Each structure stands twice: as C-alpha cells, then as structure tokens.
Structure 1
Amino acid sequence: MNTTRPTGDVATAIALLSGATLLGGVALALRPPKAPTDPRETTLRAARRLNRAAGALAASVLVDSAIEHYRGSFHNKAMVTPLVTASLSLLASLHGTGDRRYGAHVVRDIIYAGAALTGVIGTGFHLYNISRKPGGFGWQNLFYSAPLGAPAAMSLSGMLGFLSERLRDNLPGSRPTILGIPAGRVIGVMTSLGLLGTTGEAGLLHFRGAYHNPAMYLPVTMPPITALLLGASAMGSLGKRRRLTRWWLRLTALLGFSGSGFHAVGVARGMGGWRNWSQNLLNGPPIPAPPSFTGLAMAGLAALGLMEDYPDD
C-alpha cells in the first residue's frame, strides 16, 4: 500500500491549491493591456487601487490577529484593538474603492492613521512580550512568541490607505505628488520596503519550519526580487514601461493566494485534519498571512502605473 499518496483532507486541500493557482495564472495571462484613460482619472484610479491594497492587508491582519489572539485567550484586553482597527481599515478601504471623488476623506484619514499607529504600538507590545521571557531575544522566543511582523502589516495597511488619500488631494489632471515628490516614487519605495519586511517575517517562520517543503523558499526569494525591481523603477527614469516589473508584481500577488493554499495543506496534514480544525488552525501555518504579499503587490502595481503615466519632464 502506498502511504505517501495524499488522501482525505490533504488531497482536497492540494486540489483546491492547484485549482486556485491555475485560475490565477490564467487570469494573469489573459489580462488585456491597459487601455488609454482620461488623464484626469489616472490619479483617482491609482488612489482606488491603493484603497484595495490597504483593504487586502487589513483583511489579512484581521483574520490572522483574530486567530493568534484567540490562541492567546485575549489575556490582555488590548489584544482586541487590532481586530477593531483592522475591521475599520477594511471598511474604510471598501468605501474608498467605491469613491470616485477627489479630495481626502476625513473619516478615512483618521481610520488609516489609527491603523498605522496601532501597528506601531502593537510592535512595541510584541517586543516587550519577547523581552520579558526567559532567554530574551533568542531564537526560541522569536519563533514561538508574539510575531514581530504581524503588527507591522497593520501599519502598512494604514500607510497605504493614508497615501491613497494624499493622492486624492492632488488637482484632477495634475502631476500627482506627495510632499512635493512624484507620488509613484513615494509609493514604490514604501512598498519595496514593506515587501522586504514581510519577507523577513516569512523567512523567520519558514526557517522554524526547516524549509521542509521546497515551496517554502518562494516567499523568501520572489518578493525580494520584486522589491528590487520596484525600487529600481522608483529611483529610475519615470515614463518607461517596466514589463518585467509589472509581471513580477503580478506573480507576487498570485504567490499570496497560493501561499494560503499551501498553508491550508499544512493545516490538513495535522493530526485529525480539518475535523480537528479548532486545534490545527491555531497550531498550523497561518492561512491568512500570505495574502499580505498580495496587498503589497497591488500597491506596487498602483505605484508602477503612476510612474508610467507621468514621465519625467
């Protein structure tokens, strides 16, 4: 009898992973070229793309923090804060995605600023949590204590949303800037840094898993290349078509969805599979975490669009 062949929940999870990856790849391949748009709408389109990116990150943080803090029994009342903040950020992003008006929205601005601040405070809490454990900042505590990268994703969601509102503050049809710098450059650099930080968190946790699956190398190799390509585009000449960078961003977005599928396979491989979901979801690989790459890739695509649409004078 072949005992290595996936069966039951594992086989189902692998089938879903393969199907999602295939459909995502087909969607990327069939995506039509960007059609010419009214120059007055270019900045607004980018702002709405950033709203979607902020929402994707907020959704990832919401579900991930809910699972992780439930595992921690919400022993600190402050552990409810990221759930509330991420929910508000997600709602603000949905509102912004549908908003076709120029001008920053005061309520969205407040929510996004609160999300960024919550992430900073959350990082401080997680650092304190690790430091007070025996051994301090040793590998054991870094592996199994409060994850340092999780609150940073909340900050990224808030910052992307905040930048989307700054884009809306530009006059329709004008060259979009943020603090006097071309908006595409600002968003591109920030997204590149976010990708590198998220890669660091993935690398730490996959190192804990000893890279037992070769696919675990993808989140620590693809996103850094994406960050370098996007950063080079942001620091280079504006107006050039960056086809390689665009396709690499799309593949990174697909990686986020595929990563959730791989994590679902990891959960299914736990003792009892999905029938023991209450234990395996808490102790298995975090299913909601990988789409943070998707959100950042979406922000990178918005930045790249601005860089291409507004060349250097």
Structure 2
Amino acid sequence: MAASHADIVATRLIAGGAAALAFSVFADSGLEHYRGSFANPTMVLPIGSAVLGLTMNGRRSAKPESSGSEVPTISHVGSAAIGVIGLGFHAYNILKRPGGASFNNLFYGAPAGAPATLILSGMLGGIADRMAKGEETIATLGLRSGRMVAGVVSIGILGSVAEAGLLHFRGAYHDPFMWLPVTLPPVAALSLARDVVSDEAHSITTGLLAATAALGLIGVGFHAYGVARNMGGFRNWRQNILAGPPLPAPPAFTGLAIAGLGALLLMKKGSRRG
C-alpha cells in the first residue's frame, strides 16, 4: 500500500527531529567528553552513534522511502542501547562522589539525563524507519495514528525541561530569559499529552510546538552570549566553550518539537479519516 502524502511528510518531520537530536548529542557529548579527556574509552561510543544516527535520520528525512537496508534499524537500536548504558555511567559518576545524589553533584557531575537524548533519537529514528517501510502490521498502524509518537515526544520534552531547570537553577536564573525553557516547553508537552488522551490534534498544540522549536534555536544564541560574557569571550573559545553554557543543548527542544509536529500531522489525518 502506497504511503499517503501525510505519512511521507510526517516521516520526514519525525526523522528530521531525530536527526536534530543526534546532532545535539554529537556536539554536546563531544565537548563534554573532551573536557573529561575521554578518561573512559566508552566515552567515544555516544559520539560515533550520534554521527551514524545523524547520517541515517538525515537521509530518511531527505528521502522518506525505504531502501530495504537494515543498517538504519541497527543504528537506531544501537543509539537507544548506548543511551541506556550512558544513563548508568552518568548515574555512577554522580553517586560515587562524596555526598552521592546531592545538588552539588547533580550540578557538577556528569549530566544525569543527557544520554536520554540519544535514546529519544534512536526511538524516533526507529519509528520513522518503520513508517518508511510501509509494513501493514498492527505495530506500524499504531505508529501511523501519531499518538505513540506524540507520547514519546511529550515525555522527552518534560525530561529536557527537567535537565534545563536543574542547570538554570545552578545559574540562579540570573537572566529572566532562563525561565523560558522551564515554562513554554512544559505547556507544549502537556498540551500534546492532552491530544494523545483525547485522540484529537488541537491547533494550539501546533503553535506551542512551533514556539518550542524556535525557542531551541534562540537558546543557542543566548548560550553563545553566555560564552561571550566569560573572560576573553570567543577569543578564548577553547576554554570558554567548555566552561560556559552548553551551546548544543537547546536544539534538543527543536528536535523534539519537530517530531511532535509530525505526530500531530498523523493524528489530524486519522481524525479526518474517522
């Protein structure tokens, strides 16, 4: 059965969102693990996995038709698995410090939730891959309803909000704009969750997700400004990029919001058909 136009566009959006998440992981893990001098050889794994995920999802977004290759599936499963392992390593890094799971260790230890971005990239990439193959199985038909995708995105946004909230709390919310990532995205996530429960896509959710996607890009500018404020600014970029706010972190909101827009498109198609 040939995929509809809505299915194709939704597949592009979901794969594009997964690619954005993979890029965020690649850049963020690259910087953070470089700062850690790659003390553990496994610290190269999320970087390699993110590069492969970025390649596979980027190709899927550009060409949503399936090539029949199993390489994308292996890539997505590998990304999710490495993300799960990464959560364990980061938790161990925090808990082994004096004081255990204290605020100080959560602030300055390995970022507790960062590897979850790789899990989300793998999950969304796998969903786009299944949709591109056009298999008429119960699982694939469930994905095409959009509700499962929307649920994953909603949870992912709330997780990203928790990570941003923790780090912005460390920064004492010294800039009023630091409240935006902990106010707008949660509203978008809850609106999307409401749509999942009601099985109806609302236009306000589309607007909130679009605003969240834009916020992720704007956040890069704010983080760049934060880097520039350090001694030497970007002239001393080797030190300040590592010490300042993470430049690659905000686009995680953009990737999740783009995938959420794909889920809404599928839900709207389903409601019209119903």
Q: TM-score if structure 1 supplies the norm length?
A: 0.83
Aligned counterparts of 2:35 and 2:144: Cα–Cα separation in 1: 44
Aligned counterparts of 2:264 and 2:67: Cα–Cα separation in 1: 22
List 4+ stretches of structure 1 deviating above 3 A.
102-105, 174-183
Contact 2:217 2:251 in 1 (8 A): yes
Equivalent pairs counted in the alignment come to: 272
Instruction: Decide which structure has the larger Cα Rg and report it.
Output: 1
Cα gap change, 1:64/1:100 in structure 2, threshold over 3 Å: closer, same or farther? closer
Contact 2:11 2:64 in 1 (8 A): no
Provide the alpha-carbon RMSD of the alignment.
1.9
Aligned counterparts of 1:79 and 1:298: Cα–Cα separation in 2: 28
Question: Quick check: 1:141 aligned with 2:105?
Answer: yes
Decide which of 148, 151, 160 is 1:189's aligned counterpart: 151
Aligned counterparts of 1:39 and 1:53: Cα–Cα separation in 2: 20
* Distance apart, 1:268 and its partner CA: 0.3
Secondary structure (helix, strand or coil) at the match of 1:149 reads coil
Question: Quick check: 1:85 aligned with 2:49?
Answer: yes
Partner letter of residue 97 of structure 1? S
- Provide the residue aligned with 1:223 in structure 2: 185
* Distance apart, 1:104 and its partner CA: 6.1
Aligned counterparts of 1:183 and 1:47: Cα–Cα separation in 2: 12
- Provide the residue aligned with 1:15 in structure 2: none
- Provide the residue aligned with 1:204 in structure 2: 166
Q: How does 1:162-181 map to 2 (within 5 A)?
A: 162-170=126-134, 178=140, 180=142
Partner letter of residue 161 of structure 2? T
Contact 2:227 2:241 in 1 (8 A): yes
Question: Quick check: 1:132 aligned with 2:83?
Answer: no
Cα gap change, 1:196/1:180 in structure 2, threshold over 3 Å: closer, same or farther? same
Question: Quick check: 1:270 aligned with 2:234?
Answer: no
Decide which of 9, 33, 47 is 2:11's aligned counterpart: 47
Aligned counterparts of 1:293 and 1:181: Cα–Cα separation in 2: 22
Q: TM-score if structure 2 supplies the norm length?
A: 0.94
Aligned counterparts of 1:42 and 1:126: Cα–Cα separation in 2: 39
Contact 1:175 1:310 in 2 (8 A): no
Partner letter of residue 257 of structure 2? A
Aligned counterparts of 2:143 and 2:251: Cα–Cα separation in 1: 29
- Provide the residue aligned with 1:279 in structure 2: 239
* Distance apart, 1:309 and its partner CA: 1.0
Q: How does 1:1-313 map to 2 (within 5 A)?
A: 40-102=4-66, 105-170=69-134, 178=140, 180=142, 183-238=145-200, 242-311=202-271, 313=274
Deviations 1:207-226 (A, max 9, x none): 00000000000000111100
Partner letter of residue 80 of structure 2? A
Unaligned runs of 5+ in 1: 1-37
